[in-house]
């Protein structure tokens, strides 16, 4: 839905079975992490080990977001229990506070879309219940953004948010889309900063701001009709493909997504291979045998490209 704003590459696994389409992510996918400064003009360090590299910041942001969503809750408050239990919780295991809402939309006369959406908290005022989503923006070094949150948040919060919209347009659009899909009444944004710019383990919550998803979508110029248009275009394209498994990949250098056909058992190897004892390991080939061609899996490329701006 927010593909036009994305810069980094991502992928989604698509499986067509009969007249049904299943969209899912791979285990360990980049979608599990949160991008930081994705749409910024200021380049980040390229070394992956640097605490301010794109990967390190993504991992840090994911941890901050997860912890923030639990820290702002009233732990001893009355918990709201849905009719169905958490499908991902093992028996007797306490999991993070989250509720899954399965919602259905009509795309056209013969096509419906069902999605699992999330809300992280509930607020009850005057016996009126409201569902909320919780997310956290994070400041890692004011030298990159040019705005010091500790100095500007109280007096110029609009300027701080405007800078975040410039540097993290895709992330904020995705959070807003998720809140809209979950039919959340409010979305809360936390502003979390490092205690020290070189310490990426300790953080402090500086402020929390609440918005109505539809109002915030208008504020960040997120067109809901265009969001659904993108989904419908991809669904229509996939319904023309043969039954099988495909991968939708965002091109890292162009505003474009591509669809590749992959083997039916792709991405399903979830075992961990243990190394054989040294005496049982296959020895490397001799010099004479190294000229052969390597074996591999052939992946057919479906010649389909979609302009992400459509």
- Element at 303 (helix H, strand E): strand 301-307
Count other Cβ atoms within 10 Å, centred on residue 273: 6
- Given a cut of 70, whether residue 101 has pLDDT beyond it is yes
Chain segment 286-297, per-residue pLDDT in tens:
444 333 333 333
Average pLDDT over residues 232-249: 95
Chain segment 49-75, per-residue pLDDT in tens:
899 999 999 999 999 999 999 999 987
Residue 28 to residue 54: CA distance in whole angstroms: 16
In the prediction, which pLDDT does 301 show? 37
Tokens of 190: 């936390």
Chain segment 261-277, per-residue pLDDT in tens:
999 888 876 545 555 55
- 8 A C-beta contact, residue 160 and residue 152: yes
Q: Predicted confidence band at 280 (pLDDT cuts at 50, 70, 90)?
A: low
Residue 310 to residue 301: CA distance in whole angstroms: 22
Q: Is 260 exposed, middle or buried (0-12, 13-18, 19+ CB in 10 A)?
A: middle
Residue 24 to residue 4: CA distance in whole angstroms: 20
Chain segment 78-96, per-residue pLDDT in tens:
788 888 888 888 877 778 8
> H helices within the chain, ranges in order?
54-71, 142-145, 149-152, 157-167, 169-181, 213-219, 224-238
What DSSP assignment string belongs to 108-158? ETTEEEEEEEEE-EEEEETTEEEEEEEEEEEES-HHHHS--HHHHTTT-HH
Question: Phi and psi for 282 in degrees, rounded to 5?
Answer: -70, 130
Chain segment 164-218, per-residue pLDDT in tens:
999 999 999 999 999 999 999 999 999 999 999 999 999 999 999 999 999 999 9
pLDDT over 90 percentage in the chain: 67
List the chain domain ranges: 3-262
Q: 20: helix, coil or strand?
A: strand
């Amino acid at each position: 839905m927010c593909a036009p704003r994305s810069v980094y590459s991502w992928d989604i696994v698509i499986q067509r079975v009969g007249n049904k389409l299943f969209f899912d992510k791979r285990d360990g996918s980049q979608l599990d992490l949160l991008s930081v400064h994705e749409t910024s003009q200021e380049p980040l360090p390229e070394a992956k080990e640097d605490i301010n590299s794109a990967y390190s910041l993504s991992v840090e942001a994911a941890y901050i977001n997860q912890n923030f969503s639990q820290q702002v809750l009233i732990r001893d408050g009355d918990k709201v229990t849905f009719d169905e239990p958490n499908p991902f919780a093992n028996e007797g295991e306490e999991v993070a506070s989250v509720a899954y809402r399965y919602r259905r939309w009509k795309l056209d006369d013969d096509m419906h879309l069902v999605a699992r959406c999330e809300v992280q908290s509930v607020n009850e005022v005057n016996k009126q219940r409201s569902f909320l989503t919780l997310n956290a923006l994070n400041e890692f070094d004011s030298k990159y953004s040019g705005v010091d949150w500790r100095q500007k948040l109280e007096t110029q919060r609009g300027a701080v948010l405007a800078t975040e919209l410039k540097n993290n347009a895709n992330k904020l659009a995705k959070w807003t889309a998720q809140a809209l899909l979950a039919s959340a009444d409010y979305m809360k944004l936390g502003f979390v900063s490092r205690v020290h710019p070189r310490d990426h383990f300790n953080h402090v919550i500086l402020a929390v701001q609440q918005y109505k998803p539809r109002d915030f979508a208008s504020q960040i110029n997120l067109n809901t009709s265009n969001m659904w248009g993108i989904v419908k275009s991809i669904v229509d394209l996939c319904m023309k493909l043969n039954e099988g498994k495909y991968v939708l990949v965002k091109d890292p250098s162009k505003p474009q997504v591509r669809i590749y056909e992959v083997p039916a058992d792709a991405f399903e190897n979830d075992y961990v291979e243990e190394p054989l004892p040294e005496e049982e390991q296959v020895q490397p080939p001799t010099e004479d045998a190294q000229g052969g061609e390597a074996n591999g899996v052939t992946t057919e490329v479906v010649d389909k490209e979609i302009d992400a701006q459509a």
